A and B are shown apart, each in its own frame.
Chain A
């Protein structure tokens, strides 16, 4: 199979990370040997493909760009993937730049909890699945003075994970979902998971991670969080009520994206 990107003029981080995750999973399963891609003609798109490693996944030989050749919109694209909860994978490459990201400690907490959720909740029972399938993929970039970081898993999704909770019986769960009845049905389950802070893990001291995912947004004016899982989407901006939406197509997994306006030099 050959995927042609020669006419692609723009790439969006959420779609790109989903594509990369799916391609990477195919590669790790050993079924991507016949997969290749056609190089984008647009220079900026090609630079993004080379910068984040998408070219290699598509068997396109990447060009080694000099740092001065890369525009700001490309320079800070970074890609990481792993199966462990490793905060250094996110924070270490940012180095001193993290001082320009507001509430960075809280963002770090959200990111590492999203990594942890991948292992604890996202995938079917790890005892019956190879460890390497419980994987997350992460992007971050700076564009127009906004820092964005996206993390995705290709697991069962929050709504299904919530449905499998034994601790929260169907009646209690339906009560929570009903209380959010203005929300779309699938998105309501994502909101419910945030509210009750618990998905497949049944232990009472566990399951607080989704609160960390949301907290940084509540503490950062102008920030935005998007959680897309299964067919549902929840968007949270500062103190506003969450916006929900259900789609007809299913994202096979969970995507979390934080967007935070950078602090100006004067604020440092």
Chain B
């Protein structure tokens, strides 16, 4: 299993939706780290090292897995593991994935 620690492998300051929004955007996280890892193997994402997450970052990073990177809901259910002590954060991410599925 691949492990991505958001603070050490990406940034402790995730923010923004698109690459041109800023250096630590959801699009960059998804396209450079998360989607390539998920295409190779099961991946766990350690979320708790980040300072916080805006909804733009989360929606683009995780909802974008379905909307842009074309993962199916079942792909993600079997390959993506979210590791956090914050149950609200997990729920929010799963909601973005579900909303992207419903809109696709």
Chain A residues 100 to 139 lying within 8 A of chain B, measured CB to CB, are 104-110, 112-113, 115-116, 119-120
B65 to chain A, nearest CB (A): 12
Let me know if B53 is at the binding interface, CB within 8 A: yes
Q: Would you call A85 and B16 a contact (CB within 8 A)?
A: yes
Q: Would you call B51 and A211 a contact (CB within 8 A)?
A: no
From B17-25, B32-40, B70-78, give the one contacting chain A.
B17-25
Q: What is the size category of the interface that chain A forms with chain B?
A: 20 to 34
Could you say which of B17, B53, B56, B57 has the most chain A C-beta atoms within 10 Å of its C-beta? B56
Known: A84-B23, A204-B103, A205-B63. A116 touches B52 (CB 8 A): no
B25 to chain A, nearest CB (A): 7
B62 to chain A, nearest CB (A): 11
Bound-state CA distance A75–B1 (Å) is 47
Let me know if B13 is at the binding interface, CB within 8 A: yes
Q: Would you call A85 and B21 a contact (CB within 8 A)?
A: yes
Q: Which residues of A contact B23 (CB under 8 A)?
A: 84, 86
Residue of chain B at shortest CB distance from A216 = B52
| Interchain CB contact (< 8 A) of B13 among A91, A119, A205 | A91
Let me know if A208 is at the binding interface, CB within 8 A: yes
Q: Would you call B55 and A208 a contact (CB within 8 A)?
A: yes
| Interchain CB contact (< 8 A) of B53 among A109, A115, A205 | A109
Majority secondary structure of chain A interface residues (helix, strand, loop or mixed): helix
Known: A119-B21, A204-B103, A208-B59. A84 touches B52 (CB 8 A): no
Q: Which residues of A contact B21 (CB under 8 A)?
A: 84-85, 116, 119
Q: Would you call B17 and A116 a contact (CB within 8 A)?
A: yes
A212 to chain B, nearest CB (A): 5
Chain B residues 72 to 86 lying within 8 A of chain A, measured CB to CB, are none
| Interchain CB contact (< 8 A) of A87 among B14, B59, B63 | B14
Known: A88-B13, A116-B17, A116-B56. A205 touches B51 (CB 8 A): no
A103 to chain B, nearest CB (A): 9
Residue of chain A at shortest CB distance from B17 = A116
Let me know if A92 is at the binding interface, CB within 8 A: yes
Q: Would you call B22 and A211 a contact (CB within 8 A)?
A: no
Known: A87-B13, A91-B51, A116-B54. A206 touches B22 (CB 8 A): no
Bound-state CA distance A91–B21 (Å) is 17
Let me know if A209 is at the binding interface, CB within 8 A: yes
B48 to chain A, nearest CB (A): 10
Q: Would you call A84 and B16 a contact (CB within 8 A)?
A: yes
Q: Which residues of A contact B51 (CB under 8 A)?
A: 87, 91, 98, 104-105, 108
Bound-state CA distance A211–B11 (Å) is 23
B28 to chain A, nearest CB (A): 12
Let me know if B99 is at the binding interface, CB within 8 A: yes
Residue of chain B at shortest CB distance from A197 = B55
Bound-state CA distance A115–B11 (Å) is 18
- A residues whose Cβ falls under 8 Å from a Cβ of B: 84-88, 91-92, 98, 104-110, 112-113, 115-116, 119-120, 204-206, 208-209, 211-212
Q: What are 14 residue pairs bridging A and B, where the CB atoms are less than 8 Å apart in the complex?
A: A84-B23, A86-B15, A86-B22, A87-B24, A87-B52, A105-B51, A106-B52, A108-B52, A109-B55, A110-B54, A112-B56, A115-B16, A116-B54, A205-B96
**17 additional contacts, CB 8 Å, given A87-B14, A87-B51, A116-B17?**
A84-B21, A85-B15, A85-B17, A86-B13, A86-B22, A87-B52, A88-B13, A91-B13, A105-B50, A107-B52, A109-B55, A112-B15, A112-B56, A119-B21, A208-B55, A209-B56, A211-B55
